[in-house]
Amino acid sequence: MRKVSLVLLGAVLGASAAGMALQPRAFFGSAAEAAGNADTYRQLNLFGDVFERVRSDYVEKPDDAKLIESAVNGMLSGLDPHSSFMDAKAFKDMQTQTSGEFGGLGIEVQMFENQIRVEGAIDDTPAARAGVRAKDIITELDGKSIQGLSLNQAVEKMRGPVNTPIELTVQREGATEPVKIKIVRDVIRIRSVKFNVEGDDIGYIRVSQFNQQTFEGLKKSLEDFDQKIAKDKLKGYVLDLRNNPGGLLDQAIAVSDAFLERGEIVSTRGRNPDESQRFNARSGDLAKGKPIIVLVNGGSASASEIVAGALQDHRRATVLGTRSFGKGSVQTIIPLGGNGAIRLTTARYYTPSGKSIQAKGIVPDIESVQEIPEDVKGKDETKGEAGLKGHLKNGDDEASGSSAYVPADKKDDKQLNYALDLLRGIQSNANFPPAAKSSSAN
C-alpha cells in the first residue's frame, strides 16, 4: 500500500510507486490520450514560449531551475492549499519529520527572550547523558556564537550525522562561567506521544503529531498505565489531540484500531472508483473498554480528525472541545528523482458513518470553550479549512476551525479539567458516556 500523508507533512512512496509516478501516463493517462489532446500540447507550447521570453528579455538574468520550480509550484498550489512542490531540501526535511528519527542531540529548545533556551533533555539521549539541563541558554555551537540565528537555524546546526561531535556552550543558572558540553550525535526519535497519570486514577495521553513512532508511543503509554494505576482505580483515559496537525494515515489507523474491537476506521475515495480504500479495525481493545474522552480544538487536523471521527462514530469515545480544523483530504508524496517531490491531493477521507469532514470538521459531542486571556484574544482562532483560499468544496454548509488556545498550566485548562471531572463523576453530561453505537457506523 502506498504510504500517504494527511497534512502538510507527508510520507515517502515506495520505490516502485515512485517509479510509476515518474512515467508520463501518471499525468496524462495513456500515451494515445496524451497524443490526442491537442489543447494540452498547445498550452505546453505556451509555457515554453513564456519560459524562453523570460530567459531572453527579463531585466536580470534569471535562474532556469528557479523558473521551472516556480512554474511547477504555481501549477500545484493552484489546485488546492495542500498540493505543492518541495525542493530537495524541503523533501528531506519532510522525510525527517514523518520518520520521527534524525541524527541529533536529544534536546527540546525554544526561543526565550531572543535566546535559545533548553526546555529539557529527552531521556536516554546524548544530551541527557552529557548533562544538558532545562533552562540552559545555548550561546555557542563549536565555539561560534549563535546570536542572531533563528530557532530553526540553530536546530539545523545541532543536527547532523550520527557519531559526529559537537560542543555546546551554555549559560546555566547559578554558574559564574559559561559551561562547555561535548556531545556526540546519535539517532534521536521524535516523541509524538507524551503521557502521565492524572491523580492516581486517569491516564493522560498527548499525541502532538502522527509520525512513524506514534503507535509504539501509544502502546508504551498504555503499558505504563497498567503498571502505575491499579485496575480497580482506573477511571479511564484522556486522549489529547488538540493542536495536532495530523501526519501519517497508517499511524492514525493504528491508533484508532488500538481502541476498537471491530468495524471500519476510515475510507478514502479518489477520483476513480477503483481507487477507493476501506480500513477496518482488528479485534483487541488495548484500553480494555475503559472510558475515553478525546480532546480536540481548531488546531486538530487531518489524521487527528480521523481518530476523533472513528472513535466518535463507533461511540467508543466522547469528543470534547471545539470544532476541529476540517482537513478531509489525503496527500500523496511523489518523489522526483533527486529534484525534490510533489505533494498532490489524491483522495478525500470519510469517517465510518460516511461523513466527509472536509471544510466542516469534527463537531464535539460536548462543546467546551477555553477562557482566552486578553492578550491572546483574536490571535487564538484558526481559519479552518473552510477559510483557506482554493480549498476543496463540500456543500453549502461549510464551517470549520475554532480557537486553538491551550493554557500552558494544566490548572487553567478548562477542557482537560472538565474531561477529568467527567471521568471521575464529579460532573455529568448527557453525552458522557456515549450512547450505544449507531447502526450507520459499520
Among residues 313, 329, 402, 413, which one is catalytic? 313
Distance CA 353, CA 267 (A): 10
Active site residue 313: yes
Give yes or no: 194 in active site. Answer: no
Helix (H) / strand (E) containing 94: helix 88-99
Report residue 50: phi and psi, to 5°: -65, -40
Q: In which region does residue 363 sit, left (phi positive, over 0), alpha (psi from -120 to 50) or beta (all else)?
A: beta
Which helix H or strand E contains 156, and what residues bound it? helix 151-158
Coil, strand or helix at 206: strand
Q: Is 365 a catalytic residue?
A: no
Strands 202-207 and 236-240: parallel
- Which one of 192, 256, 257, 327 is the catalytic residue? 327
Distances from the Cα of 268 to the Cα of 273, 278, 300, 367, 370, angstroms: 10, 7, 19, 28, 33
- Residue ranges with strand state E in 53-185: 84-86, 101-104, 107-112, 115-121, 137-141, 144-145, 165-171, 179-184
Question: Within 10 A of 256 (CB to CB), how many other CB atoms are there?
Answer: 26
How far CA 344 is from CA of 76, 77, 86, 239, in Å, comes to 7, 9, 11, 30
For 95, the grid coordinates are 522525510
User: What does the alpha-carbon distance between residue 86 and residue 65 come to, in Å, rounded to a whole number?
Assistant: 13
Instruction: Give catalytic residue positions.
Output: 302, 313, 327
